[in-house]
A = this chain, B = another copy of it.
Amino acid sequence: MSRVDERLDEMERTVVREVPDDITITDVAFEGPELVIYTQDPRAFAERGDLVRHLASELRKRITVRPDPAALDPPREAESDVQAVIPDDAGVTDLDFHQDTGEVIIEAEKPGMVIGSRGSTLREITSATGWTPEVVRTPPIESATVSNVRDFLMQEREDRRDILERVGRQIHREEMSDDQWVRITTLGCCREVGRASFILSTPETRVLIDCGDKPGAEDEVPYLQVPEALGSGASSIDAVVLTHAHLDHSALVPLLFKYGYDGPIYTTEPSRDLMGLLSLDYLDVAAKEGRTPPYDSEMVREAIKHTIPIEYGNVTDIAPDIKLTLHNAGHILGSSIAHFHIGNGRYNVAFSGDIHYSDTRLFNGAVNEFPRVETLVLESTYGGRNDYQTDQEDSERELKKVINRTIERDGKVLIPAFAVGRAQELMLVLEEAMREGDIPEVPVHLDGMMWEATAIHTTYPEYLRDELQERIFHDDTNPFLADQFNHIDGGEEERQEVADGGPAIVLSTSGMVNGGPIMSWLEHIAPDPDSTLTFVGYQAQGTLGRRIQNGRDEIPVGNSNGRGRQNTVALNMDVETVDGFSGHADRQGLENFVKTMNPRPEKVLCVHGDESSVQDLSSALYHDYNMRTFAPKNLETFRFV
């Protein structure tokens, strides 16, 4: 009998001992990091409200109880019983009964009312019907991504069960090595912005953290082919952790499955959906630009199927010797700092991902309290000695000035923005500014995937700031539903109309002006000296955005495809940069994050920044806070412990 089976046996004995005699346990099994208990008496289980919590603390595992099929009411009968238990105000929009797992998926506008105080309504459902309820929110704004992901996961339910069982056995396998060490290998985003990818390894376990592309340098991908990465096969990786869905962290995660990876991806639920949205778009863009995408949409589906969503703050076993906890990073929806607790506390490492330290309109600032952290891997996008950004309040004032000035002369304000994060932050700024009369009520056009991304934000309000959550729950106060906002869904024709029309604000992807609908907008508006091109986010080296900031006054148009000469239009617009809206902490924010971090880490690896930014930040943290700091190169391995 394998060690895993022994362990399961032992857990089953504990469960049988701890539950009252009237509850029959038929099986226990690992499913991903959780323990699933099968019972013939789901109702009795549900009626003892504290039993699951008691077992969880006894077994030190998250626990799911599943009914034996025999114990279930038939779906038709159960459906009315479920409806009867849930308050009408909950706004149930869908019920799905899964005979194989005994689960009923309840989609509701107000999931909290389906759950009840401390889960009381859920337990009522089970005791009335035998079924195990799982609740999801009805998106306040319809999202094709969210419904596609949900439909897909339902359809792949059996496959997914197999994956989770296999992952569960892997997580709970026996530790093999007496050796003790902890290492970080850098596969990308060192002394550069883009292609974030790291391996955290112990003698037991190898975890890949992020796997992104490099905007403006599509051929520079993480060094996956080296022996210490996937050189000996993708199955040498035990787990993938995704800090957030931006393509410079996520774009090549699906590629791992093409290479034969078959393990779990740990990330937040919104990051999973955004990864789906952004990586499908990434394939689209590649195809449009005549590049062969490195994988196809089937691999995106594999990635989604292998994702095990975890919530902020939940400590999760991902290997025999590693516990993972994700913490809010304040950067985009679902973005997280990944904290690894290794070898029963032998060592603790936090990967910042991308962070914003202070609160924004959308998000609370990044968490910087941890039980323990010896080494911090810290983004340094704005780590340079002069990378101090304006306060957001001042930035908003500045942006409003730019808008007023432009609208006064009948121009248009064109803002390149990431679909995810900056766009929503700006929507909140613009909505308030118009509501309070600081700027005129002109149409705000959202192009690219912004509308869809916004819909996903409203699906996961738990990940937004409290005040904002509350507003989203009510259609009449949901800022994203304000009248000014127009989703560009009519393509070139609609763009032409807007360009020919009166004053307006246009938010369009890509955020760094390297492809996407922003190129069309520039083709229409670039020659107009009354309009303003307004940068509000970081422009990476090699992108057209950076070149425009540096003075370039021509925009390539049409599809040159490398054949013939590229046509251009003159860029006569005002070009303004309003900083302070970045999703990234500025130099001050990064220092504050480290200075107030609790506990203060011993070592900091400065990554995800231009060469001078990582060097500046590394030397500042060393001198000001007396920590051991490093500015790694790609392809290096650092050993701790």
> Which chain B residue has the least Cβ–Cβ distance from A641?
B633
Within 8 Å by CB of A228, from B181, B227, B634, B639, lies B227
Q: Is the interface of A mostly helix, strand, loop or mixed?
A: mixed
Instruction: Tell whether A231 is near chain B: CB-to-CB under 8 Å.
Output: yes
Within 8 Å by CB of A639, from B181, B206, B636, lies B636
Can you name 12 A-B pairs with beta carbons within 8 Å? A181-B635, A183-B635, A185-B637, A206-B227, A227-B232, A228-B637, A231-B236, A633-B639, A634-B639, A635-B637, A635-B639, A636-B636
Instruction: Tell whether A154 is near chain B: CB-to-CB under 8 Å.
Output: no
User: Chain B's nearest CB lies how many Å from the CB of A307?
Assistant: 25
- Chain B residues with CB under 8 Å of A639's CB are 633-636
- A residues with CB within 8 A of B: 181, 183, 185, 206, 226-229, 231-233, 236, 633-639
> Which chain B residue has the least Cβ–Cβ distance from A219?
B178
User: Chain B's nearest CB lies how many Å from the CB of A89?
Assistant: 55
Interchain residue pairs A-B with the least CB separation, the first 5: A232-B232, A637-B637, A228-B228, A633-B639, A227-B228
- Chain B residues with CB under 8 Å of A185's CB are 637
User: Chain B's nearest CB lies how many Å from the CB of A165?
Assistant: 27
Within 8 Å by CB of A227, from B231, B634, B636, B638, lies B231
- Chain B residues with CB under 8 Å of A638's CB are 636
Please tell me if the beta carbons of B228 and A236 are within 8 angstroms of each other in the complex.
no
Complex Cα distance, B228 from A206, in Å, reads 13
- Chain B residues with CB under 8 Å of A233's CB are 232
Interface centre among A226, A227, A232, A236 (most CB of B within 10 A): A227
> Which chain B residue has the least Cβ–Cβ distance from A635?
B639
Complex Cα distance, B227 from A229, in Å, reads 8
Complex Cα distance, B639 from A181, in Å, reads 21
Complex Cα distance, B635 from A634, in Å, reads 16
> Which chain B residue has the least Cβ–Cβ distance from A199?
B227
Complex Cα distance, B185 from A185, in Å, reads 12
User: Chain B's nearest CB lies how many Å from the CB of A639?
Assistant: 5
- Chain B residues with CB under 8 Å of A232's CB are 227, 231-233
> Which chain B residue has the least Cβ–Cβ distance from A633?
B639
Complex Cα distance, B231 from A634, in Å, reads 21
* Extra 14 A-B pairs, beta carbons < 8 Å, given A227-B228, A634-B639: A181-B635, A183-B635, A185-B637, A227-B227, A227-B229, A227-B231, A228-B228, A228-B231, A228-B637, A231-B232, A232-B232, A232-B233, A636-B637, A636-B639
- Chain B residues with CB under 8 Å of A634's CB are 639
User: Chain B's nearest CB lies how many Å from the CB of A489?
Assistant: 42
